[in-house]
Amino acid sequence: MALVANLAETTALASALDVDHGVLLDLLAQTPVGSPYAGIKGELMRSRSYPVSFALDLAAKDLELVTEARELLALDGHLADATRKLFEQAKEAGLGSFDLSAVYEVCAPAGERRDQREPHTPAGVRARVPPRSDNAEPQSPRRAETAEAGGDDSPAAGTLAL
């Protein structure tokens, strides 16, 4: 979980520096931290689509159990504490039902962050705010994309609304 948290923060830093996520993932793949697991989770962060392999809620629960065990044994756990806090923030932002890689959403640069207490988009649809004329009625990105896609309003597992 610390690897995923570190990858989320690294990806967020790259985004803030306008480094393409694909370039970052290619670079990381050539380093000792470039494991297949990091590549898979990095691609999910890049696409900002989080189909569940291991739910963020469960990761947060496991980090709580680690904290309890460390406290019983009087062990320090600076990295584990920081990771637990990050996952708790993601859980509070409504990302608990997504894959643990959705922790990226709380690390992303401020203008790119997503709070998932909002409704989800239909399966496979990435919401975008369509341009509108001055006298057009405001429309939520979700409804606009749903109408364009001809889909329904059902939530899609792992798909984040913008």
**Domains along the sequence of the chain with CATH:** 2-112 (1.10.1040.10), 121-155 (no CATH)
Please identify which residue in the block is written with the tokens 């939520």. Answer: 140
Q: How many CB atoms lie within 10 A of CB 145?
A: 21
Structure tokens at 153: 């309003």
Q: What is the pLDDT of residue 110?
A: 83
Q: What is the pLDDT of residue 160?
A: 60
Q: What is the pLDDT of residue 136?
A: 45
Please identify which residue in the block is written with the tokens 């697991």. Answer: 37
Does this model's pTM top 0.75? My answer is no
Per-residue pLDDT of the chain in tens (162 residues, 90 and over written 9) = 999 999 999 999 999 999 999 999 999 999 887 889 999 999 999 999 999 999 999 999 999 999 999 999 999 999 999 999 999 999 999 999 999 999 999 999 887 777 655 433 333 333 333 343 444 444 433 333 434 444 444 445 565 654
